[in-house]
């Protein structure tokens, strides 16, 4: 018991600092998780809202992925709309050179495909040309 009383005397002036450190540590751990989770939900919401604002040409590009159950589709490498969809994270184009005909394989992201399968009204119906753009 003598040892504990000596330790208590040594630590007593620092008890506020020790308690504060434990309290901050206990609060910081769940706070980091909450901040990350809120950020993920916010970015997910922004991505889904982007799908509600698709242009007619973007709907044409995404339509066959949904209606034909395609995961990969070849699109001309110089198509600016496909590049925008890839930049926005809806499509993925691997860093490979185009084939002899000038086409690159674009694959659809999983989150995009699952969301559009639930909301098929957001993409062009099969075979539709909404923008007048010839393939």
DSSP result, 65-83:
HHHTT-SEEEEETT-HHHH
The predicted pLDDT at position 135 comes to: 47
pTM: 0.67
> Within its chain, how far is the Cα of 81 from the centroid?
19
Do 44 and 62 sit in the same domain of this protein?
Answer: no
Do 35 and 87 sit in the same domain of this protein?
Answer: no
Answer yes or no: is 135 within a domain: no
Check residues 114 and 10 and name the one with the higher pLDDT.
114
* Residues 16-67: tens digit of each pLDDT: 888 888 888 888 778 878 888 888 878 888 888 999 999 999 999 999 999 9
The predicted pLDDT at position 118 comes to: 92
Q: Does the pLDDT at position 129 exceed 70?
A: no
Do 81 and 95 sit in the same domain of this protein?
Answer: yes
Structural domains in the chain (count) = 2
Do 34 and 64 sit in the same domain of this protein?
Answer: no
Answer yes or no: is 132 within a domain: no
Do 45 and 73 sit in the same domain of this protein?
Answer: no
Do 31 and 87 sit in the same domain of this protein?
Answer: no
Q: Does the pLDDT at position 131 exceed 60?
A: no
Q: Does the pLDDT at position 3 exceed 90?
A: no
- Domain with 26, as residue range(s), is 2-50
Do 58 and 117 sit in the same domain of this protein?
Answer: yes
Sheet holding 72-76, edge to edge: 72-76, 103-108, 91-92
């Amino acid at each position: 018991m003598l040892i504990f009383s000596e330790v208590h005397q040594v630590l007593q002036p620092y008890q506020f600092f020790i308690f504060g450190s434990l309290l901050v540590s206990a609060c910081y751990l769940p706070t980091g998780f909450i901040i990350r989770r809120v950020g993920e939900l916010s970015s997910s919401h922004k991505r889904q809202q982007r799908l509600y604002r698709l242009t007619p040409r973007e709907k044409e590009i995404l339509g066959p992925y949904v209606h034909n159950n395609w995961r990969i589709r070849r699109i001309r490498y110089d198509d600016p709309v496909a590049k925008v969809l890839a930049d926005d994270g809806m499509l993925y184009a691997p860093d490979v050179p185009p084939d002899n005909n000038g086409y690159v394989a674009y694959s659809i992201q999983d989150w995009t495909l699952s969301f559009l399968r639930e909301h098929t009204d957001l993409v062009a119906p099969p075979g539709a040309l909404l923008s007048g753009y010839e393939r």
